[in-house]
Amino acid sequence: MNGALKAAWGLTAFVVLAGIVGWIVTDRAVFAVFIVLGVLTAAGALLTGRTAPKENRTP
């Protein structure tokens, strides 16, 4: 896992946690947007964080 992927997962966790805490503390559903953005960030990290399979170089 490279540094950019670690940062993406850290951002995901922060945004989702901020959304949950904000929703609970203020009782306003607008913080659901944070949760949705966190899930989208996670999906992007999963899709872009994959590496291509190594080529089989058997002679």
- The span from the CA of 15 to the CA of 34, in Å, is 6
Q: To the nearest 10°, the Cα dihedral for 8, 43, 48, 41?
A: -30
Residue whose tokens read 């559903």: 29
6-56 per-position pLDDT tens digit: 887 888 899 899 999 999 999 898 999 999 988 988 888 788 766 666 676
- The span from the CA of 2 to the CA of 49, in Å, is 9
pLDDT of residue 17: 93
- Residue 9 has which token pair? 């997962």
Q: What is the DSSP letter of 49?
A: S
The overall pTM is greater than 0.85: no
